Amino acid sequence: MTRPDEPARNDQRDQTDQSRQTDQPGQSDRPSPGDRPVLLVAGASSGIGAAVAARGADGGARVAVCARRAGALREVAEACGATPYVADVTVRGEVDELVAAVVRDHGRLDGVVANAGTIRPGGLLELSDEDWDATLRTNLTSVFLLARAALPHLAAARGAFVTVGSVAGLRAAAGASAYAASKAGAGMLTSVIAAEFGPYGVRANTVCPGWTRTEMADEEMREFGGGLSLDAAYARATVLVPQRRAAAAEEVADAVLWLLGPRSSYVNGATLTVDGGLTSVDAGRVPFDFTVLPR
């Protein structure tokens, strides 16, 4: 893998440059459109990825969106003014071509969001080899491939890499072995990126959402809730969440954009939970907490 010639000596920009920066990547007083940061969002055809693309574009970034579903991706791109790239981020050649195309078309690459994901539930004894392999390839290998292709460009731009993980990678649950293992692995891989490329000016962090209202989560809720409405199913699934609701995709996107932006300039190798407080709950004390009642 190509690397810069030497590590950056200091990851802090001069005071004049810092004073011009704001929360969102892309918000700047520089007049030239070509100077606006370029953000690549993988897995952007719906849900959190689409919300990140929209928020990033609103903040002034030039956004490139990637997914396998061409039709849905085109709708997202048209809605926020992003550039669409149809690619499978589990395939090395397609990832290499994707990153090269983004840099060729936009001249730089300042941020990457690894958001491609899938879930194939099943207990350890029931999960097929194919489901295990597909889950790890989508949720973990894609992060590796994106990082390997993008890191030289991110180092040149002193950019940032954000992986969208899950609280499932932080807490164990029966029936989600492949998903949990892949998300845990993606988080650790992102921390390795932070350690290895921090000296080159790159930051890498993981956002771990809890239940978030997306197309994929809606499918799970339909199975979980049986005949319940989606609202009722989400309410039941989030009864132990202190905020008593699922997140909106935009709420997760705001955390991702913060980690990409200059106001998180000393945040590196971190895991940020966006879960309404779920992972702060002591499961062993729930039976004694009489304020947690069924709805």
Q: What span, in angstroms and rounded, lies between the C-alpha atoms of 264 and 267?
A: 5
Closest CA to 149 of 110, 189, 93: 93
Query: Which of 182, 60, 76 is CA-nearest to residue 111?
Result: 60
10 Å CB burial of residue 10 (0-12, 13-18, 19+) is exposed
Question: Rounded CA gap, 209 and 163, in Å?
Answer: 11
Q: Is 179 a catalytic residue?
A: yes
Residue with tokens 């009722």: 232
Decide: 160 and 150 in contact? Cβ < 8 Å. no
Active site residue: 179, 200, 234, 266, which one? 179
- C-beta neighbour count of 288 within 10 angstroms: 8
54 Cβ partners below 8 Å, 6+ apart? Answer: 76, 79, 80, 250, 253
Are 53 and 126 in contact, with CB atoms under 8 Å apart? no
CB of 63 within 8 A of CB of 57? yes
Q: Which residues are catalytic?
A: 179
